[in-house]
Amino acid sequence: MLKYFGSRLLTFIPTFLGVTLISFAFIRVLPGDPIIVMAGERGLTDERYQELTEQFGFDLPIYVQFWDYFTGVLQGDLGNSFVTKRPVWDEFFALFPATLELSLCAMIFAVLLGLPAGVIAAVNRGKFFDRALMSTALVGYSMPIFWWALLLIIVFSGNLQWTPVSGRIDLTYYFPNATGFMLIDSLASGQQGAFLSALRHLLLPTIVLGTIPLAVIARQTRSAMLEVLGEDYIRTARAKGLAPGRINGIHALRNALIPVVTVIGLSVGTLLAGAILTETIFSWPGIGKWMVDSIFRRDYPVVQGGLLMIAVIVMLVNLTVDVLYGVINPKIRKR
Amino acid sequence: MKLKSYLAAGATALALCAGSASAQALVYCSEGSPEGFDPALYTAGTTFDASSHPIYNRLTEFKVGTTEVIPGLAESWEVSDDGMTVTFKLRQGVKFHSNDSFTPTRDFNADDVIFSFDRQGNPDHPFHTVSGGTWEYYGGMSMPELVKSIEKVDDYTVQFNLTRPEAPFIANMAMDFASIVSAEYAEAMMDAGTPEMVNQAPIGTGPFKFQAYQKDAVIRYLRNDDYWGEPAKVEALIFAITPDASVRYQKVQAGECHVMAYPNPADIEEMKSNEDIVVMEQEGLNVGYLAYNTTMPPYDNPKVRKALNMAIDKQAIIDVVFQGSGQIAKNPIPPTMWSYNDSIEDDPYDPEAAKAMLAEEGVTDLNMKIWAMPVQRPYNPNARRMAELMQEDFAKIGVTVEIVSYEWGEYLSRSRALDRDGAILLGWTGDNGDPDNFLAVLLGCDGRENSNRAQWCHEPFEELIQKAKVLPTQAERAPLYEEAQVIFKEQAPWATIAHSVVYMTMRPEVDGYVVHPLGGHIFNQVGLSN
């Protein structure tokens, strides 16, 4: 197992190098000069332009710029944002917990509903339940997030007033953000009702962000289950009179989980990087909006640093998924 | 330390809950995060709303709701006869805020004024490079060339020595970049090795004290009870950062915020019919225009430019592009600005006459490019659509239009070129309420190949604005600017398209809000009634 883990870890290095280079190159390939964008309609004199070019180090050859960036990265320095002038590292860690909290909740929501839905659909293949669940999944998968979010807000926050419109917690609560995870911080604050308020604020964004992964997981679980249910050993299990619940829940599901775990792993990556719309609508202070804003402003350090951090996290998630394969299926780790 | 901040936080929360009956906390749904809290470092209005307006003061101030300049931290000022020195008498007994790591030992004085400007203008100043300072606005307002030196005459008198007489200088001093920061705080933070705290945990003299900021989520302020001016009406001010306009509107309706910025133009009608919502409006201090390249034939001929202007159906543009949240512009400066010449007649919309005029000038089969910005700006919510409408208008007089667009940075830099082909859509939002800030920056000879996108340099016009720049009083300057607008209209270097209308949406219990023509959102005078 250790060897398996080690070999997975080794593939990390070239990927990391590649990502560093690509994230550095990506933003520079886009047209648009950050200094000109910063000056806006006002414009600036040639001398001033020259001065700023030197200040930002754009006058250096590109390989020197890359080398400076790369050695910075190795020392844990991602540079300072052109716009806010603050370290990219600090900004990332101020915002990332919000994204992580929302993504985890969305994932839990998707898995808790998606797995049983997939299993039920597979077991009832071709029947009403199957059709109903899978058409709902298709609708969920095709739903434009923006529209879906506004619909939920108008119905549940506007008309019914069950949930708050946006934000992470009611503004009357105020406590220092020790961990950045609102659920934990609100509990730790000991303020009455704070935790509940945080939970209520999480509800709609969780549903919105979890809808697509939910649909994907349900469909994936169904097809993996169907495949496994046709295997000989399942027939054997049935023949020897095992209870259907035990066959489906233990023998079939465990083997069907491999492709499902892959999908979950991939979805986590998408969630972390792709929560931008959900974050924007629900005024959720995460990294999605931060990244998109920085691309428009040509804020090189934020774009390259943010991309790198997201890539590293996705790589870590994939590593975890690889290790999980080994746990689920002993055959894989012995290969 | 941690326990202390928890206790303080708890106490604030209690105070807010307890105070809700008397409505003590004003919640403003803002459109985005500030870049930081030291206004001199930045140029965005969102940043100024969160920093210079609540936290700081300036030597002079704009009277809220007008572009009139009134005393601020300077009680009075005197301009020498030659216009080359400006002496400010400072207000005494003004207290700076305090926070966990800093308590001021002295009141505001001349040292703070000198520090606030010297750090921007003097490259050798220890604070010049702190927080990656590029001092865009200071440079943008030509302050480095204008200010020769700043002298402390005594603790409460500061003298600015200028390189040339410049009437708008007093208004510049009321701009956000001229906010006065505490020299004592800056030194303390420098000594502690954390000079960037001046930007992150701001200390000012303004009506609100900074309390906390969580990026992209919330900014909290408390009333400054030691404020030198009229104290703020609410105990706490909270900015709930809400980037989506539809969501902001939902939040106002649900009572999660009291005031919101920048409603969707499409929602205005519904808002106006909603009894629980108050909508205020005012013309923005901006102008959207189409600038011809006046150095290139046939656009070097004023009659050709005039003819093209007459072919544009501006009302259609206001209806379609601005969805009503704009008004037709006839002058290069907005109507809320002093010296606006209302007697000027706009070019009539008359395609037939326009066609005849072009034929008279021998212009046939004209192919022109119209540049359309790729971004949404206050003075032009949809440049592409605007260009398409113009394309149709020009087709009616036999002019074929090709619409071109580039990425925003490219657009700005390429459009500066002297040999730029065709006409460009762009606009401007005023900085200091002074006509010079429009007419000289956008149409003066010095602005060519830069902010003067028409590349226009017309001697009679230039003479007027240069003369007006150095005259000491508004009364003397206004007639010159009014005349300059007449010349502008005759020469037509631009087609003036529109001034946007700025809307503010709030709940009925909000009391005393005034829409500010310079675009800021200001809350010291705002209260909440039950």
Q: Is the pLDDT of residue A66 over 80?
A: yes
Q: How far apart are CA B43 and CA B527, in angstroms?
A: 28
Flag whether residue A53 sits within 8 Å of chain B, measured between CB atoms: no
pLDDT above 80 (res A151) = yes
pLDDT (tens digit, 9 = 90+) per residue, A246-303?
A: 888 778 888 888 888 888 888 887 787 658 889 988 989 999 888 888 888 888 999 9
How far is the CA of A260 from the CAs of A118, A119, A215, B172, in angstroms? 10, 12, 12, 63
Share of chain B above pLDDT 70, in %: 96
Tally of CB atoms within 10 A around A327: 11
Distance from CA of A112 to the nearest CA of B (A): 29
A243 contacts chain B (CB < 8 A):
no
Residue B376 has what pLDDT? 82
pLDDT band at residue B136 using 50, 70 and 90 as cut-offs = confident
Residue in chain B nearest A162 by alpha carbon: B254
Length of chain A as a residue count: 335
Q: Among residues A213, A268, A266, which one has the least CA distance to residue A99?
A: A268
Q: Rounded distance, CA B26 to CA B529, Å?
A: 11
Return the H-helix or E-strand segment holding B87: strand B85-90
What is residue B251's predicted lDDT score, i.e. its pLDDT?
94
Closest residue of chain A to B431, computed from CA coordinates: A42
Task: Supply the mean pLDDT for chain B.
Answer: 91
Question: Under an 8 A CB cutoff, do A173 and B13 touch?
Answer: yes
pLDDT in tens, B445-504: 988 888 899 999 999 999 999 999 989 888 999 999 999 999 999 999 999 999 998 889
B236-241/B494-506 β-pairing: unpaired
CA separation for the pair A299, A23 (Å, rounded): 12
Chain A residues inside the 8 Å CB shell of B429: 41
Q: What is the reported pLDDT for B34?
A: 92
How crowded is the C-beta side of B71, counted as CA atoms within 13 Å?
Answer: 13
**pLDDT in the model for residue B218:** 94
**Percentage of chain B surpassing pLDDT 90?**
73
Structure tokens at B174: 């009321």
Hey, is the C-beta of B194 within 8 angstroms of any chain A C-beta?
no
Higher pLDDT, B376 or B514: B514
Q: What b/e sequence results for B229-254 when a residue is b if at least 16 CB atoms lie within 10 Å of its CB, and e otherwise?
A: beebbbbbbbbbbbbbbbbbbbbbbb
The whole-angstrom distance between A270's CA and the closest CA on chain B is 21
Pick the residue from chain A with its C-alpha nearest to B141: A42
The encoded tokens of residue B99 equal 């926070």
Task: Say which range, B5-9, B141-145, B334-338, B375-379, has the weakest mean pLDDT.
Answer: B5-9
ipTM above 0.95, yes or no: no
Is pLDDT at A310 greater than 60 in this prediction? yes
CA–CA distance from B474 to each of A111, B79, B437 (Å)?
A: 69, 14, 14
pLDDT in tens, A155-207: 999 889 899 999 999 988 888 888 889 999 999 988 889 999 999 999 999 99
Residues in chain B closer than 8 A to A80 (CB atoms): 132
Beta pairing, strands B286-292 & B494-506: antiparallel
Calculate the dihedral angle through the C-alpha atoms of B251, A93, B211, A168, rounding to the nearest 10 degrees: 20
pLDDT at A117: 93
**Are the C-beta atoms of B56 and B206 separated by less than 8 Å?**
yes
Across the range B205-229, mean pLDDT stands at: 95
Q: So what's the pLDDT on residue B16?
A: 43
Mean pLDDT is highest, among A30-44, B82-96, B259-273, for: B82-96
| Chain B neighbors of A83, CB-CB under 8 A | 35
Test A290 with B244 for CB contact under 8 angstroms.
no
Q: A90 and chain B: CB distance < 8 Å anywhere?
A: no
Q: Count the neighbouring beta carbons within 10 Å of the beta carbon of residue A283.
A: 26
A244 shares contact with chain B (CB less than 8 Å): no
pLDDT band at B260 (very low <50, low <70, confident <90, very high): very high
Q: Judge whether B454 is closer than 8 Å to chain A, CB to CB.
A: no
Cβ–Cβ contact A246 with B under 8 A: no
- CA dist., res. A310 & res. A274, Å (int): 11
What B142-146 contacts at long range (C-beta under 8 Å, 24+ apart), as own/partner pairs, is B143/B117, B143/B172
CA B488, B492, B495: angle at the middle one, nearest 5?
115
Q: What DSSP letter does each residue of B281-305 carry, written as one string?
A: EEE-SEEEEEEE-TTSTTTTSHHHH
Under the banding of pLDDT at 50, 70 and 90, the label for residue B44 is confident
Min distance A84 CA to chain B CA atoms (Å): 5
Sign for the CA dihedral angle at B161, B167, B171, B172 comes to: negative
Res. B442: pLDDT tops 90: yes
Cα distance from B10 to chain A (closest Cα, Å)? 7
Task: Name every chain B residue with its beta carbon within 8 A of the beta carbon of A28.
Answer: none
Residue pLDDT, tens place only, B175-194: 999 999 999 999 999 999 99
CB B198 within 8 A of CB B93: no
Interface test with chain A among B35, B219, B247, by most A beta carbons within 10 Å: B247
Closest Cα in chain A to B429: A41
A38 interfaces chain B, CB cutoff of 8 Å? yes
DSSP B223-251: E-TT-SSSPPSSSEEEEEE---HHHHHHH
* Res A329 pLDDT > 80: no
Interstrand relation of B259-260 and B423-429 (parallel, antiparallel or unpaired) = unpaired
Contact A192/B at CB under 8 A? no
Residues 428-447 of B with CB under 8 A from A: 428-429, 441
B residues 131-190 closer than 8 Å to A (CB): 131-134, 136, 139-140
Per-residue exposure over A161-178, b if at least 16 CB sit within 10 Å of its own CB, e if not: eebbbbbbbbbbbbbebe
B426 CB neighbours in chain A (<8 A) are: 41
- For residue A115, the model assigns a pLDDT of 92
Give me the total of CB pairs closer than 8 Å, taking one residue from chain A and one from chain B. 161
Closest CA to B389 of B374, B375, B403: B403
Chain B CB contacts of A177 below 8 Å: 214
The predicted pLDDT at position B509 comes to 94
Which H or E run contains B464? helix B459-470
Q: How many CB atoms lie within 10 A of CB B105?
A: 8
Q: Which of A165, A175, A189 is the mutation pick for testing B, counting most B CBs within 10 A?
A: A165
What is the model's pLDDT at position B19?
37
Residue tagged 């009277």 (tokens): B63
Mean model confidence pLDDT for chain A = 87
Mean pLDDT confidence for B373-397: 92
3-state secondary structure chain A: CHHHHHHHHHCHHHHHHHHHHHHHHHHHHCCCCHHHHHHHHHCCCHHHHHHHHHHHCCCCCHHHHHHHHHHHHHCCCCCECCCCCCEHHHHHHHHHHHHHHHHHHHHHHHHHHHHHHHHHHHHCCCCHHHHHHHHHHHHHHHCCHHHHHHHHHHHHHHHCCCCCCCCCCCCCCCCCCCCCCHHHHHHHHCCCCHHHHHHHHHHHHHHHHHHHHHHHHHHHHHHHHHHHHCCHHHHHHHHCCCCHHHHHHHHHHHHHHHHHHHHHHHHHHHHHHHCHHHHHHCCCCCHHHHHHHHHHCCCHHHHHHHHHHHHHHHHHHHHHHHHHHHHHCHHHHHC
Residue A33 and residue B413: Cβ atoms within 8 Å? yes
Residues 236 through 295 of chain B touching chain A, CB cutoff 8 Å: 238, 240-244, 246-247, 250-251, 253-254, 256
- Find the length of chain B: 530
Cα nearest neighbour of B215 on chain A: A285
CB of B25 within 8 Å of any CB in chain A? yes
CA A205 – CA A166 distance, rounded (Å): 9
